[in-house]
């Protein structure tokens, strides 16, 4: 049964990350600095990827210790996303595309390794009190929530169409 769940979760991560990727690729330069709720477009993309990456970790302490983070100290700077303050750092499309590809690979590696026991275990991210399986669903919902905000901005301001990405395939 774990294999089924791993596969379903991986397909949903891929579909949601493909949606986010489409927003990155299709956003005109003018949109990149525009407002999306209380962040700029680039900050909203970073926020989404940041927490995707974070919740794919086994434990919160693992997050900053990843090679990807240590090799890109300037990119992560002071981890302002972890603080209750307004984000100020800005990001290029290329840097966020790179981060998205990292998150894609990480999701695949994490889900391939998850066992039924792992998925049933409590997640280690207080104050969340649900299972690791539900943390994955929560994570995918978070990606889709912010992708929907980005899609709305692209459609309203630039008449850009964003296709539906289903499980099992990716366009970009």
- Per-residue pLDDT in tens (0 to 9) along the chain, 172 residues: 568 888 999 999 999 999 999 999 999 999 998 999 999 999 999 999 999 999 999 999 999 999 999 999 999 999 999 999 889 999 999 999 999 999 999 999 999 999 999 999 999 999 999 999 999 999 999 999 999 999 999 999 999 888 888 865 545 4
What domain range is 107 assigned to?
2-158
Question: What's the pTM value of the predicted model, to 2 decimals?
Answer: 0.94
Does 172 reside within a domain? no
Query: Which CATH number covers residue 13?
Result: 1.20.120.450
Does 71 reside within a domain? yes
Distances 35 to 13, 38, 80, 143, 156 between C-alpha atoms, Å: 25, 7, 18, 18, 12
Report the half-sphere exposure of 32 (CA within 13 A, side-chain side): 14
Does 166 reside within a domain? no
Domain count, the chain: 1
3 state DSSP class of 146 = helix
Does 138 reside within a domain? yes
Does 143 reside within a domain? yes
Query: Which runs of E-coded beta strand occur in 27-104?
Result: 35-36, 39-40
């Amino acid at each position: 049964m774990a294999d089924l769940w791993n596969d379903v979760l991986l397909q949903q991560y891929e579909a949601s990350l493909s949606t986010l990727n489409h927003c990155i690729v299709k956003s005109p330069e003018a949109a990149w600095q525009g407002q999306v709720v209380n962040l700029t477009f680039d900050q909203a993309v970073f926020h989404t990827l940041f927490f995707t990456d974070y919740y794919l970790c086994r434990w919160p302490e693992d997050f900053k210790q990843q090679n990807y983070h240590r090799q890109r100290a300037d990119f992560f700077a002071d981890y302002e996303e972890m603080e209750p303050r307004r984000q100020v750092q800005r990001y290029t499309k290329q840097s966020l595309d790179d981060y998205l590809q990292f998150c894609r690979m990480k999701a695949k590696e994490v889900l391939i390794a998850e066992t039924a026991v792992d998925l049933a275990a409590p997640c280690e991210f207080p104050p969340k009190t649900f299972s690791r399986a539900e943390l994955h669903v929560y994570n995918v919902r978070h990606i889709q929530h912010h992708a929907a905000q980005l899609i709305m901005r692209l459609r309203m301001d630039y008449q850009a169409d964003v296709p539906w990405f289903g499980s099992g395939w990716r366009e970009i």
